[in-house]
Amino acid sequence: MKSHPFRIFAAYYYKWNKLPPTLSFHSHPQYEVYYFHGGRCDYLLGDRIIPLQSGDLIIMNGMTRHCPKIDRSTEYVRTTFSFDPHLVQLFGPELLACSPLKPFEQLRNHHIRLSPAAKAECEDILQRINRFYYSNDVVHHYRLLSAFYDLLLLICEQCREDMESNRSTATDRERYVQNMIAYIEEGYMEDIELERMAADLHMNRFHLMKVFREVTGLTVFDYLYRRRVNQAKILFYQSDRNSVTDVGYMVGFKHLSHFSRVFKKQVGMTPDQYRKLVRELSYTAYN
């Protein structure tokens, strides 16, 4: 899976009992699932501190800055799993009917304490994800997607009560940023200007930029371009008949040169190289 071109997934099982890794506040446009197996750790999520217990699950929209604060005197084990929310488009309308991303969209950042039975089930799914993630086998790639879908459903089940009571723990600043992200989601394929965005959201342009950066660690345009490039990846994946030029225009770039430059900066290869990799993969899958 490491060499797989479709790097929208990222799954990591991590066990540490010696030197600590570099852990700092970070954010990203992907959604993230964090599962705590064991150890002593507080999780810093925006301006909240969550003391963790074994079997705790945190779902995050990714855009709020987050990091674990680990007690180094004990062994620390966790699994994180991040993914681009638009990846679910690959599941098709029937599987999307149950809104598998609803907990991420409605609750945004949410802490779940799993029962022993749910904990066992979750660990089984994560184990499968971890196993298939590192495989280059095409069948394992689809089994990874299947396990991913299973995980989303488990999360939906665990969040059902909280979603029904519509309990949201977002702060005012997070809600501001959620509005900005929703605005970008609606118009990322068109021209987006900060001035107009600020006016539409009834915010000051400077305040808007400042809050977005403070909450996410990214600039508005950093986010916009990541969103466009991820959508381009999905379009390449959905059909290798899409030309680089068409995809560039479809995701909101006005000029191919700009699209190519941004894509290469983010992905490390040109859109055409990426498209060819995806094409090779689908040929392998059908042969």
Partner DNA sequence: GAGAGATCGATAGGTGTTCC
Partner DNA sequence: GGAACACCTATCGATCTCTC
Where along the sequence are the contacts to DNA (CB under 7 A)? 191, 193-195, 204, 206-207, 209-211, 213, 219-222, 225, 243-246, 253-258, 260-262, 264, 270-273
**221 φ/ψ angles, rounded to the nearest 5 degrees:** -75, -30
Spatial separation of the C-alpha atoms in residues 186 and 193, rounded to whole Å: 13
Q: Are 77 and 97 in contact (CB under 8 A)?
A: no
CA distance readout (Å), 254 to 185, 190, 265:
17, 9, 17
Q: Which is nearer to DNA, 131 or 264 (CB)?
A: 264
Residue 41 CB, shortest distance to DNA, in Å, is 30
Residue 194, both tokens: 């900060």
Our CB check for DNA shows the closer of 160 and 207 to be 207
Which of 136, 245 has the CB closer to DNA?
245
- Find residue 26's DSSP bridge partners: 66
Give whichever of 94 and 193 is closer to DNA, judged by the CB atom: 193
Give the residue with the Cβ less far from DNA, 144 or 247.
247
Q: Which is nearer to DNA, 15 or 254 (CB)?
A: 254
Cβ 136 to DNA, closest distance in Å? 24
What's the closest the beta carbon of residue 6 comes to DNA, in angstroms? 17
Instruction: Write down the least CB distance from residue 213 to DNA, Å.
Output: 5
Of the two residues 72 and 207, which places its CB atom closer to DNA in the complex? 207
- Please report how the helices 256-267 and 271-286 are oriented relative to each other, as an axis angle in degrees rounded to 10: 70
Query: What are the DSSP calls for 88-139, one per residue?
Result: GGGGHHHHHTT-TTHHHHHTSSEEEE--HHHHHHHHHHHHHHHHHHT---HH
The Cβ of residue 210 has, within 10 Å, a number of other Cβ atoms equal to: 11
Burial 273-283, CB ≥16 within 10 A → b, else e? ebbeebeebee
Shortest gap between Cβ of 188 and DNA (angstroms)?
13
* Bridge partners, residue 185, by sequence: none
- Minimal distance in Å, beta carbon 244 to DNA? 4
Tell me the closest approach of the beta carbon of residue 202 to DNA, in angstroms.
10
Query: Which residues have a Cβ under 8 Å from the Cβ of 42 and sit 6 or more positions away?
Result: 49, 50, 51, 52, 68, 69
